[in-house]
């Protein structure tokens, strides 16, 4: 596709660069190259490939189906290059490890996904690293947290599960004055709503398991950024073997082709749910970024499909609500066509210390809802009857 970089987002999502991956049969869809190794026509060709001049060698190092995913995320994020991983946490791990050294520190926005927190809590003591945290509302503290030994500033925009939006431009200004790169996990927003690199971030992180895959049937992680920062990550990536499988790459390409169609529906449904929750007497607080001036500044085309809220009556009421649901499924993860709900304090963020959870806004009765693609009226109807049940101390629910 001549001049693919000038194509609009929707076209890039569907078509990518337009270059054929299958040059033998010219398949319309990128094939699944389900092979561990590739055959060389001669020892000279093998030597050239190992020298990095042409063609795949072994699927841990590169695979045409996986290569197509890496190219697609780079196009969607406006990046020089992309890297595909077996999971989002594998991507975070490789990114962090690529620049750390004994005595270094990581400055991390809080809250973050509980799995990310658990990973950083596990690896930092063994590596002699210091973990420093700040909240989105505490950007003014950042200049006191970063120093010459800061390896990365890690952000989530919006944050999981409180949907905080940090002022990315201010973070970038502070970090770049000291030569520190900024990485943004944009899993909740996707490049359809928000492209961090255009606001000065250096690397974008995605759990491709979520909205990019979109169908709840794959695990994967992606990074997008410059060659300068990601080439060392790629070297570490292939050495440690956290490679995305060809089949998952194929499924991910399928999901990314419809990202621009799915995200407006997720966003619209989430707004309708939010409107109902904000007016309901059984709801103490709603977390959705549509009224946040920073989200209005950074986001495009809506605010994605994630909504969090706190139920009157604490965790007991939250559990009664979940037991009463008939349509919405009790499950972790997000970005599926099905609406999914979870209680972060006992699931995704269970390994985060309680005092940190409370300080970051994960209060008793806190629930995280991934609003799906069902009819919004059906989602709202299910929530309304479950909210009523949440306030009845003897309610047992209908699907307990």
Q: Which of 235, 256, 277 is the last residue of a domain?
A: 256
Q: What are phi and psi of 76, to 5 degrees?
A: -70, -30
238, 300: one domain:
no
- In sequence order, the β-bridge partners of residue 58 are 37
Over residues 157-213, the pLDDT tens digits come to: 999 999 999 999 999 999 999 999 999 999 999 999 999 999 999 999 999 999 999
Report if residue 398 sits inside a domain. no
286, 381: one domain:
yes
Report if residue 397 sits inside a domain. no
Sequence-distant contacts of 392-398: CB under 8 A, at least 24 apart: 392/320, 393/316, 393/320, 395/320, 395/323, 395/324, 396/323, 397/320, 397/322, 397/323, 397/324, 397/325, 398/323, 398/324, 398/326
- Give the C-alpha distances (Å, rounded to integers) separating 291 from 12, 184, 231, 299: 30, 21, 38, 12
Predicted local confidence at residue 2, as pLDDT: 42
Whether residue 211 contacts residue 262, with contact meaning beta carbons closer than 8 Å, is answered with yes
239, 263: one domain:
no
Has residue 400 got a pLDDT over 60?
A: no
**Domains: count for the chain:** 2
282, 382: one domain:
yes
130, 218: one domain:
yes
Whether residue 166 contacts residue 157, with contact meaning beta carbons closer than 8 Å, is answered with yes
Over residues 207-237, the pLDDT tens digits come to: 999 999 999 999 999 999 999 999 999 999 9
229, 375: one domain:
no
Instruction: Provide the whole-model pTM.
Output: 0.94
167, 57: one domain:
yes
CATH number of residue 314's parent domain: 3.90.1150.10
Q: How far apart are CA 372 and CA 383, in angstroms?
A: 13
183, 283: one domain:
no
Q: Which of 256, 278, 300 is the last residue of a domain?
A: 256
234, 245: one domain:
yes
Q: How far apart are CA 320 and CA 315, in angstroms?
A: 9
Domain hosting residue 20, numbered range: 4-256
Over residues 314-366, the pLDDT tens digits come to: 999 999 999 999 999 999 999 999 999 999 999 999 989 899 899 889 999 99
Over residues 10-37, mean pLDDT? 88
Q: Which two tokens stand for residue 389?
A: 């049940």
238, 277: one domain:
no
User: Torsion over CA of 216, 217, 220 and 223, rounded to 10 degrees?
Assistant: -50
Q: Which of 227, 256, 285 is the last residue of a domain?
A: 256
CATH number of residue 103's parent domain: 3.40.640.10
Report if residue 400 sits inside a domain. no
Whether residue 252 contacts residue 288, with contact meaning beta carbons closer than 8 Å, is answered with no
Share of the chain above pLDDT 90, in %: 87
pLDDT band at 395 (very low <50, low <70, confident <90, very high): low
Report if residue 377 sits inside a domain. yes
Nearest to 30 by CA among 17, 41, 40: 17
Has residue 25 got a pLDDT over 60?
A: yes
229, 292: one domain:
no
Over residues 30-89, the pLDDT tens digits come to: 999 999 999 999 999 999 998 887 789 999 999 999 999 999 999 999 999 999 999 999
């Amino acid at each position: 596709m001549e001049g693919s970089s000038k194509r609009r987002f929707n076209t890039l999502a569907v078509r990518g660069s337009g270059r054929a991956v299958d040059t033998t049969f010219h398949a319309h869809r990128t094939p699944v190259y389900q092979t561990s190794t590739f055959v060389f026509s001669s020892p000279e060709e093998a030597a050239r490939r190992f020298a990095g001049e042409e063609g795949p060698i072994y699927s841990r190092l590169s695979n045409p189906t996986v290569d197509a995913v890496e190219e697609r995320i780079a196009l969607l994020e406006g990046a020089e290059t992309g890297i595909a991983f077996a999971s989002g946490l594998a991507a975070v791990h490789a990114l962090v490890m690529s620049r750390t050294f004994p005595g270094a520190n990581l400055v991390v926005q809080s809250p973050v996904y509980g799995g990310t927190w658990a990973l950083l809590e596990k690896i930092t003591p063994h590596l002699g690293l210091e973990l420093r945290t700040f909240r989105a509302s505490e950007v003014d503290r950042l200049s006191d947290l970063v120093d010459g030994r800061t390896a990365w500033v890690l952000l989530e925009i919006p944050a999981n599960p409180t949907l905080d939006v940090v002022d990315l431009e201010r973070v970038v200004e502070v970090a770049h004055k000291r030569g520190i790169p900024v990485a943004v996990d944009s899993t909740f927003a996707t490049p359809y709503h928000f492209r961090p690199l255009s606001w000065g971030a250096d690397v974008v992180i995605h759990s491709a398991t979520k909205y990019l895959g979109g169908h709840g049937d794959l695990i994967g992680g992606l990074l997008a950024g410059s060659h300068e920062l990601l080439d060392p990550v790629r070297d570490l990536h292939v050495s440690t073997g956290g490679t995305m499988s060809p089949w998952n790459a194929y499924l991910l390409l399928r999901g990314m082709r419809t990202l621009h169609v799915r995200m407006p529906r997720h966003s619209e449904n989430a707004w309708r749910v939010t409107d109902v929750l904000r007016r309901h007497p059984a709801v103490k607080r709603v977390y959705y970024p549509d009224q946040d001036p920073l989200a209005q500044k950074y986001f495009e085309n809506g605010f994605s499909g994630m909504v969090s809220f706190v139920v009157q009556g604490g965790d007991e009421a939250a559990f009664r609500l979940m037991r009463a649901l008939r349509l919405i499924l009790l499950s972790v993860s997000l970005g599926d066509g099905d609406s999914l709900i979870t209680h972060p304090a006992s699931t995704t963020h269970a390994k985060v210390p309680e005092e940190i959870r409370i300080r970051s806004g994960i209060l008793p009765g806190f629930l995280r809802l991934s609003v799906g693609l069902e009819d919004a009226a059906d989602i709202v109807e299910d929530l309304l009857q479950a909210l009523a049940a949440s306030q009845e101390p003897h309610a047992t629910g209908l699907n307990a």
